[in-house]
Chains A and B, each alone.
Chain A
Amino acid sequence: MKGPRLPAWLGLAPFALAFFAFQVAPMLWVAVSAFRVEGDWGLDHFREIAASPFFRQAIWRSLEISLVSSVLGLTIATLACQAMTRSNARLRRVMISFTNMTSNFAGVPLAFAFIILMGANGVLTLALERLGIVEEIRLYSTSGLIVVYTWFQIPLGILLLFPAFAGLKDEWREAASLLGAGRLAYWRHVGLPVLRPALLSTFTVLVANAMGAYATVYALVNTSFNLMTIRIANLVAGDLFLRPDLASALALVLVILLVGITLIQRAILPRSDTHGTR
């Protein structure tokens, strides 16, 4: 043996140090500084957020866009997955590759693609206006953002849901049919109860994904649209008033909302879990 043997835990030390410094410490800093008020401790930042119509609007809009786009995305993903289980293998493979591909299309490039498609001089905008189908498309509005968010929720939803759909056995459908169940009865009593855990957890992931989204919306509207992530970023990296402590408080509100959504899902899930999968 050459040289002294180093203790094995030394191999963990650099990782632990880097993980603490760049993942744990920033989070701790946010959690602590949210309660810092001019050298003292207090809830003033949270009171300010709760009292400000501007911040309240940002929170509501974030929730609204996230929830609506998640419901739409989940619905479309569910329909697509159901169709995929019933379609032929080749079409199924095409769908899976295509959703994989589109799930990589996110952030700033996605925003630019939507500007080309649906911006003021967008390809689709001009075509639809020309055909007289719509008066105007407003991409930089709540409904415009919901369209963009829904678009990136669909591939994610399909990728997360499809394994559960693939687990629906043909025998169950046959058995239900033999027992006299129609399509509706099958879905109500067999299909949906089995899929419920997967649907719920996918929905949670989609909502969290949308709540934390920043790149796409920033590239679309810069800071002019009022959302939580936009406000947080603007408080620490904006042009005018930097208020890192207030940013921490708002960031903590966002994290608490995300944790809350996960806890609600956990609270609903166990019952359906024991019912459905076994």
Chain B
Amino acid sequence: MAHADSLPRPLPLAEPRRRGRFRLPSSYTLVLAGVLLLLALPLVATLGYALASRWGATLLPEGLTLAWFLELWATPRFLAAFGRSLLISVGALALSLALILPVAVLAQTRYPHLDHWMNTLILMPFAVPPVVSSVGLLQLYAGGPLSLVGTPWILILTYFTIALPFMYRTLANSLRAMNVVELMEAAQLLGASPFRAFFLVILPNIRAGVQIAIFLSFSFLVGEFVFANMLVGTRFETLQVYLNNMRGASGHFTSALVITLFTVTLVLTWLGARQADYTPKEASR
């Protein structure tokens, strides 16, 4: 077979050297600029709309204002939804930590095979779409002895499954990075009970991991809509359900709401990432 490109043609091996100050951008830079523009477009438009006093018949907003944000932050329904979202997220995180931490510790100390099992189990929340789970949850907990649908409890309990994959991985990784078994043995040799050893020796050592898990799970939970809308809806309106119900409101107002929600998510992820940077180098092995 004769290849049209069989003649040796030198490839750029390293980054092309700058010849002058005014060089045409390379095709790679153009591709990246295009992708950045594409991804930025909805965000920039929403930010612009949230800050525009009017943006109708013109290409650019007519005037800048913070009025929409001020109006949003003075709306009782928004503040109530914010409070509910925080309450549910904090409750779900506390529950998840209480349920998952013992499993992660036992998997690293007592039951070595458990880690393998857990790594398979935690794929389930990824594999089953929330809509499918909701169908079952709605039937199982709508009446009878466990009548949870329509109350915040069902969300706190269900959000545990959302936080699970991320929380387990992060906790297991930070536990693996330190020598849990030896530290526990040392503490117990010095007379501490297993509980004391755990709270005074292990927990302070995995604090960074716990914080990463909390911040990042928090950002997922604040953004959760499917369960919140299908299982509870307006009976305990969270931020995402509130946003969806504001469909008829002014586009400027909802834009301010979207930007506020996105900022909350970004701050939470940033706090998590900052913790990850502080984690001692050994932890990354």
Size band of the interface chain B makes with A: 35 or more
- Cβ–Cβ contact A2 & B5, under 8 A: no
Chain B residues positioned under 8 Å from A254 (CB to CB): 129, 131-132
B49 close to A1 (CB less than 8 A): no
B130 surroundings in chain A (CB, below 8 A)? 212, 214
Name the residue among A24, A155, A237 with the largest chain B CB count within 10 angstroms: A237
Write the nearest CB–CB distance from A248 to chain B, whole angstroms: 6
* A69-128 interface (Cβ within 8 A of B): 76, 79-80, 82-84, 86-88, 91, 94-95, 98-102, 104-110, 112-117, 121-124, 126-127
Given known contacts A211-B129, A219-B244, is B136 in contact with A177 (CB within 8 Å)? Answer: no
B221 at the interface (CB under 8 A from A): no
A254 CB → nearest B CB, Å: 6
B74 proximal to A (CB < 8 A): no
Chain A stretch 196-229: residues in CB contact (< 8 A) with chain B: 208, 211-212, 214-215, 218-219, 229
What residues of chain A lie closer than 8 Å to B105, measured between beta carbons?
11
> CB distance A117 to B103 under 8 Å?
no
- B157, chain A: closest CB distance, angstroms: 5
Is B45 at the interface (CB under 8 A from chain A)?
yes
Given that A1-B193, A98-B39, A233-B134 are contacting pairs, would A113 and B129 also be in contact in the complex, using a CB cutoff of 8 Å?
A: no
Does A140 sit within 8 A of B, measured CB to CB?
no
The contact string, 1 if C-beta is below 8 Å from chain A, for chain B 245-268, is: 001000100110110011001100
Looking at B114, B158, B193, B225, the one whose CB has the most chain A CB atoms below 10 A away is: B225
Chain B 154-193: CB-based contact to A (< 8 A → 1; otherwise 0)? 0001101100100000000000000000000000000001
12 A-B residue pairs with CB within 8 Å: A1-B193, A23-B161, A26-B132, A82-B28, A100-B269, A108-B225, A123-B45, A182-B8, A183-B9, A185-B5, A232-B135, A236-B138
Interface residues of A, Cβ cutoff 8 Å to B = 1-2, 5, 8-9, 11-12, 14-15, 18-19, 21-30, 33, 76, 79-80, 82-84, 86-88, 91, 94-95, 98-102, 104-110, 112-117, 121-124, 126-127, 130, 151, 154-155, 170, 173-174, 176-177, 180-186, 208, 211-212, 214-215, 218-219, 229, 232-233, 236-237, 244, 247-248, 251, 254-255, 258
